[in-house]
Amino acid sequence: MNRTVVKRIGQLVTPVGKAPRSGDEMDQLKVEKGKEILIEGNRISKIGNRGDFSSEAAGDTEIIDAEGKPVLPGFIDPHTHFVFSGYRAGEFQMRLQGKSYEEIAAEGGGIVSSVRSTRDASRTKLKREARDRLRSMVRFGVTSVEGKTGYGLDEKTELKQLEVMEELNEETKIDVFSTFLGAHAIPEEYEGKREDYLDLLAETVMPQAAERGAEFCDVFCDRGAFTVDESRSVLNRGKEFGLKPKIHADEIAGTGGAELAAEIGAVSADHLLKASDEGIEAMREQGTIGVLLPITAFSLKEEYARARYMIDRGLPLSLATDLNPGSCYSESVPLLISLATLYMNMTLKETITALTLNAAAAVDKAETLGSIEPGKQADMIFLDAPSYDHLTYHIGVNLVERTIKKGEVIWKENNPKI
């Protein structure tokens, strides 16, 4: 078994546990100095004091010198649409001129625009572009990614997206968790035939999605997308194939998506810009994770989700980029941190918890990911800063000096290995 020691850690900064943190717990991180980490295989074996492992390391033990830098768990991005082709820069210019997301969609833009490009792309092209995006995420300290379909909206392309994610999960060092989001929009060829499209998803595409590695089923439950009743049907059908429910909820309007997430036992409900007090409380009681996407609100010039209200009422929160070609073309974790702390009234400790342990819970992986503790996977980042609080103090700047996945350095000084 391979053995690795991480020595000379300036600050070891991590949440603890195998379950999401909520309320005051989100603001509680373990911050220790003078520690080093023993990794055996791809797991953290022990955490000790300086010299405990490095002073007795045999010749076959790899030594990683943190050089006094802060060390944190690898970031987890639990909501992305990173497998797509084609760009929508023109739509961004339309938004700058004052047009809304819904107005742009009505003019032929939006999701259906990306569907055309993604359908036309070869699997080779789609995979190459997706790999490039993963490489960029790793530079920002992301070690695990959730990816959604939803830019195919037909049998062939939805499965093509899943195949790309499955291959990237196997071929790269990054953990890629796949979500089937066939219910992202109604494709152009099914305009006026909503029930027929939902039948296609339920009877033809969804069973194959489960076979092609999808772990979750998601639905865009909102005004102009799918109704609560339609969303309930989609997610219940997904459960029949072992797909765990997730939901795009209450982004554009408060339509009851948060309440549905609680009712159906969703792993997470995402966006929540317009979520009701009752929906937030129902999610808390059910144990559904709230995944907030502040870069999307920033990009759309919308009000941010009520992070402070949600945390104070005990709802466990995660954060994600929502990388996609339309409403949020960004994988920038530094921007995400700045928005969460400056404009959503989250503390830095809450933000770190939301990007690590709670993000792991949002992809149902808190047992193995999201913290630096014995038994967890050895995923961590080093910061090029004197202290971890520079993550929010050094505004919008990427401070990740090194990214380690399963005990192996996969990014350092612009040298990606994925």
Please, which pLDDT band fits residue 416 given cuts at 50, 70 and 90? low
**353-399 confidence digits (pLDDT tens):** 999 999 999 999 999 999 999 999 999 999 999 999 999 999 999 99
Give the count of beta carbons closer than 10 Å to the beta carbon of residue 87: 14
Q: What is the DSSP letter of 363?
A: T
| Whole-number percent of the chain with pLDDT over 90 | 90
Cα 358 to Cα 311: distance, rounded to the nearest angstrom: 12
Tokens describing residue 369: 């990911």
Asked whether residue 308 carries a pLDDT value surpassing 90, the answer given is yes
Cα 217 to Cα 145: distance, rounded to the nearest angstrom: 16
Compute the chain's Rg from CA coordinates.
21
Which sequence spans correspond to the domains of the chain? Answer: 3-73+371-412, 75-362
Helix (H) or strand (E) holding 381: strand 380-383
> Which pLDDT value is given to residue 59?
79
| Whole-number percent of the chain with pLDDT over 70 | 99
> Which pLDDT value is given to residue 415?
60
Asked whether residue 314 carries a pLDDT value surpassing 60, the answer given is yes
**80-122 confidence digits (pLDDT tens):** 999 999 988 888 888 888 888 778 777 777 788 899 999 999 9
CATH 3.20.20.70 fits 75-362, yes or no: no
Cα 144 to Cα 122: distance, rounded to the nearest angstrom: 25
Choose among 282, 334, 272, 328: nearest CA to 304: 272
> Which pLDDT value is given to residue 46?
97
Average pLDDT on 15-38 reads 98
Of 49-58, 255-264, 317-326, 407-416, where does mean pLDDT reach its minimum? 407-416
Q: Are 322 and 293 in contact (CB under 8 A)?
A: yes
Of 102-111, 170-179, 187-196, where does mean pLDDT reach its minimum? 102-111
> Which pLDDT value is given to residue 102?
77
- Tell the residue number behind the tokens 């032929």, with chain if given: 108
Tokens describing residue 175: 């953990």
Choose among 412, 344, 408, 364: nearest CA to 384: 412
Choose among 414, 390, 393: nearest CA to 402: 414
**267-302 confidence digits (pLDDT tens):** 999 999 999 999 999 999 999 999 999 999 999 999
Cα 78 to Cα 270: distance, rounded to the nearest angstrom: 10
Average pLDDT on 160-177 reads 97
By CB atoms closer than 10 A (0-12, 13-18, 19+), residue 220 is buried
Angle at 260 between CA 256 and CA 264, to 5 degrees: 180
Tokens describing residue 72: 């944190």
Cα distances (Å, whole numbers) of residue 4 to 116, 278, 334:
47, 48, 29
> Which pLDDT value is given to residue 96?
85
**218-236 confidence digits (pLDDT tens):** 999 999 999 999 999 999 9
Average pLDDT on 154-168 reads 98
Cα 375 to Cα 144: distance, rounded to the nearest angstrom: 17
Asked whether residue 409 carries a pLDDT value surpassing 90, the answer given is yes
> Which pLDDT value is given to residue 151?
97
- Dihedral (Cα; 25, 27, 33, 36), 10-degree rounding: 60
Strands, DSSP E only, in 74-201?
A: 75-80, 142-148, 175-183
> Which pLDDT value is given to residue 326?
92
> Which pLDDT value is given to residue 344?
98
Cα 375 to Cα 378: distance, rounded to the nearest angstrom: 9
- Tell the residue number behind the tokens 């790309």, with chain if given: 164
> Which pLDDT value is given to residue 111?
85
> Which pLDDT value is given to residue 240?
98
CATH number belonging to domain 3-73+371-412: 2.30.40.10
Q: Are 377 and 327 in contact (CB under 8 A)?
A: no
- Tell the residue number behind the tokens 């392309």, with chain if given: 157
Q: Edge-to-edge strands of the sheet including 61-65?
A: 43-49, 35-40, 3-7, 61-65
Average pLDDT on 242-256 reads 97
Tokens describing residue 415: 């040298």
> Which pLDDT value is given to residue 413?
72
Please, which pLDDT band fits residue 70 given cuts at 50, 70 and 90? very high
Choose among 137, 123, 49: nearest CA to 84: 123
> Which pLDDT value is given to residue 171?
97
> Which pLDDT value is given to residue 418?
63
Instruction: Give the pTM.
Output: 0.96
